[in-house]
Amino acid sequence: MEECSKTKSENSSSQFNAVEEEIEDARNVEEELELKPGMNFDSFDRLFQYYRSYGNKMGFEAIIRSSNKGDDGKLKYVTLSCACSGKSTCISRNAFKMHPVTKTDCKARIGAALRSDGSWQICSVVLDHNHELSSPSKTRFFKANRIIKPYVKRKLEVNDRAGIRPNKNFNSFVVEAGGPENFPFLQKDCRNYIEKVRRLRLGVGDASAIQKYFLKMQNENSNFFYIMDLDEEGRLKNVLWVDARSGAAFKEFGDVVTFDTTYLTNKYDMPFAAFVGVDHQGHSTLFGCGLISNEDTKTFVWLFQSWLASMMNCAPKAIIIDQDKAMQNAIEIVFLGTRHR
């Protein structure tokens, strides 16, 4: 037993040492970072990663401030800036629950354009910030830097199934890492991941029951469409279905579509996503619906692309949603010629 425990501790410590080495290597690279007009990058991903690494070195978080696309739908120009850019607008009406102000209208940013050879070139650079910068040792608290490694995810899930509470689950990793300053994510990230995994745990036979029902519907009508999205562990994440009536209704009344995720299922607390239109009598008609495990841009892109495929890639002329940034980003990616309101 002592040998087994020693082996486990050695493995865990070696894994965390590898993480520390990655962080140290990144810091050594960051010491040589600089920004100036005329710098070229092979791709936009390399450009954004470079600016984010520069931000970690200087003590600010980098974001994509704005972008422009050409007539072909490809990204042509982008502005990367400090996360404190822009002005804060508080939408809370409760004076006792005001959100902290993080926007200072910071002007620090770079502008980059796509060149004819497919590379990206920095066109303009503004380096001055109007706020206090963080210490480089605290940049690990930036949202983009709080990444949970795959082996940590697996251990979090195993401990959660064993009934270990999230705070003790997190503390065990902190002890193995040698302190919170050596740990790449926060306890809040740990809790959020565990809650997400719990939502994906359907009851015994529930996922197979859904599939059997969809197969039954498809046998009765070949125009019934469904698609299921699984995670790397084979668990059901998202599902979309469109019956034959919805497909026929979209051909007649699909010029304008509303999309909403207001409703939640009772048992698993999964958002219910509905594509709805209006028929010639002014009645609401359903164009398709689904269940999603997360309300982020990646999930909405999958849902929109799947729904568009079910409609023979015939996009609506207009789509109406609430003021959700993730939905808006997904619409810009999938529905290129659709007017968004």
Tokens of 199: 């939502």
> What confidence score (pLDDT) does residue 25 get?
44
Give the model's pLDDT for residue 303.
94
Over residues 226-252, mean pLDDT: 85
pLDDT > 80? residue 144: no
State which of 70-84, 129-143, 148-162 shows the largest mean pLDDT: 70-84
Give which of 333, 101, 81 is closest to 319, Cα–Cα: 333
pLDDT of residue 79: 93
Residue located via tokens 């990144």: 26
Percent of the chain whose predicted confidence (pLDDT) is above 90: 24
Least confident of 153-157, 178-182, 189-193, 245-249: 178-182
Whole-angstrom distance between the N-terminal and C-terminal Cα of the chain? 63
Residue 197 backbone zone (phi > 0: left; psi -120 to 50: alpha; other: beta): alpha
Top-confidence residue, 285 or 189: 285
Task: Collect contacts of 183-189 with beta carbons under 8 A, ≥24 apart.
Answer: 184/19, 184/23, 184/140, 184/145, 184/146, 184/147, 184/148, 184/149, 185/146, 185/147, 185/148, 186/141, 186/146, 189/146, 189/148
Give pTM, 2 decimals.
0.47
Of 102 and 225, the structure prediction assigns the larger pLDDT to 225
Show the tokens assigned to 143.
């949202």
Q: What is the pLDDT of residue 86?
A: 82
Average model confidence (pLDDT) for the chain? 79
Q: Cβ of 50: how many Cβ atoms within 10 Å?
A: 21
